[in-house]
Amino acid sequence: SIILGIESSCDDTSAAVLKGNKILSNIAANQEIHKEYGGVVPELASRAHQQNIIPVVDKAFSKANIQQKDISAIGFTRGPGLLGSLLVGTSFAKSLAMSLSVPLIEVNHLQAHILAHFIEDANPKAPNFPFLCLTVSGGHTMIVLVKDYFDMEIIGKTIDDAAGEAFDKIGKIFGLDYPAGPIIDKLSKNGNENSFKFNKPKLDHFNYSFSGIKTSVLYFIQKEVRKNPDFIKENIDDLCASVQKTIVEILMDKLEKAAIDLNIKEIAIAGGVSANSGLREAIQKNSERLGWNIYIPKFEYTTDNAAMIAMVAKLKFDRGEFADLSISATARYDIEEGFKKDIKTL
């Protein structure tokens, strides 16, 4: 099969062409516009998607060297995400599916972050079921027990901010651009991670909290800047390294606990924060210490991308799970939800 994937849930407009399990193209247009606002502005995001979607899809076809008439189906992100952003991809996918008379397949964005592991070149080897997937992104942080492609259970999750959100908000306190996660990662490489200590939350079960570290960084910075206005500038690398170390430790502590409690050694990471080099190193170390088989996706499949959407669409295509043309986007979409009622199984 040849599948076109469309992703527009947040601020990246992306299109990808998948042939079998192999990605032929994976094109994204990033929206620079949000930088100056320090976060994604929903109204501007949907407008930018509207401008980008046709050029991005065209480029995905031409890079893949595939004609529109050759595709077998179109997969699109139905949710979760910003409604105004999702509507652009959804409407586009529906129109194109109608004009080409090909089936339409709806995709849950969070399932896609996880199922990106099944793209042929995502890993040297795909994970075996059941596996645990630490799913860490801009909007979500959870440990998911993946029993089968579409049988997922949330074992633990954040009770407040997501890990990516923590990176971004703390970066904002440091005066870094949005999104700050990748910048903190880069600056950390020149810093000493033991320079500053930030409190870690104590939570039951496998749940997370990241609002505490954000507040403790804020108070600490306010106090130090009163004494020395150049404090951030003089210590930015050490600050970033210390924050990154703390966030990674918080993530790894619960993941390790869950892996031991559930006696699972197949461990994956997914989502934008899985691009983080500190997290990648930590999971690597744990694999040696605890005998884990680890799955770290290729960088381009970590942050939002249409390749992962096409991959899920392919899995559903093989099962004949198609969406009706009356389907609409949904801002909330639980990862545990298999298929919504209005989805037809042909």
Binding-site positions for Fe cation read 109, 113, 304
191 binds ligand ATP (CB under 6 A): no
137 binds ligand ATP (CB under 6 A): yes
Helix (H) or strand (E) holding 54: helix 42-64
Of 19-27, 150-158, 160-168, 234-242, which segment contacts ligand ATP by CB under 6 A?
160-168
Residue 208's Cβ-count burial label (10 Å; 0-12, 13-18, 19+) is buried
Q: Pick from 109, 157, 169, 245: which binds ligand ATP (CB under 6 A)?
A: 109
> Largest alpha-carbon pair distance within the chain?
67
Closest listed residue to residue 144, CA positions, set 259, 223, 233:
259
Q: Pick from 137, 242, 244, 305: which binds Fe ion (CB under 5 A)?
A: 137
At closest approach, how far in Å is the CB of 312 from ligand ATP? 13
Q: Pick from 106, 168, 193, 300: which binds ligand ATP (CB under 6 A)?
A: 168
- Residue 54's CB is within 10 A of a number of other CB atoms, namely 13
179 binds ligand ATP (CB under 6 A): yes
Residues contributing to the annotated binding site for substrate = 135-139, 168, 181, 185, 276
The residues facing 268 across adjacent strands are 133, 295
Select 10 or 213, whichever has its Cβ closest to ligand ATP.
10
At closest approach, how far in Å is the CB of 54 from ligand ATP? 22
Q: Which does 181 bind (CB under 5 to 8 A by kind): ligand ATP, Fe ion, none?
A: ligand ATP
Q: Which does 167 bind (CB under 5 to 8 A by kind): Fe ion, ligand ATP, none?
A: ligand ATP
Select 102 or 296, whichever has its Cβ closest to ligand ATP.
296
Closest listed residue to residue 146, CA positions, set 122, 126, 128:
128
Task: Look up residue 13 and give its two tokens.
Answer: 């407009």
Applying CB under 6 A, the site for ligand ATP has a residue count of 24
Sorted by sequence, the CB contacts under 8 Å of residue 236 that are 6+ apart come out as 174, 187, 191
Of 144-152, 195-203, 241-249, 299-307, which segment contacts Fe ion by CB under 5 A?
299-307
Task: Look up residue 177 and give its two tokens.
Answer: 């651009």
| Chain position whose Cβ is nearest to ligand ATP | 272
Restricting to residues 270-329, name those near ligand ATP by CB under 6 A. Answer: 271-273, 275-276, 303-304
Please, are residues 145 and 262 in contact by the beta-carbon 8 Å criterion? yes
Query: Buried b / exposed e across 35-49, counting CB within 10 Å, b at 16+?
Result: eeebebbbeebbbbb
- Helix and strand tally (H, E) in the chain? 9, 10
- Residue 173's CB is within 10 A of a number of other CB atoms, namely 17
Enumerate binding residues for ligand ATP (CB under 6 A): 9-10, 81, 109, 113, 137-140, 164, 167-168, 179-182, 185, 271-273, 275-276, 303-304
Enumerate binding residues for Fe ion (CB under 5 A): 137, 304
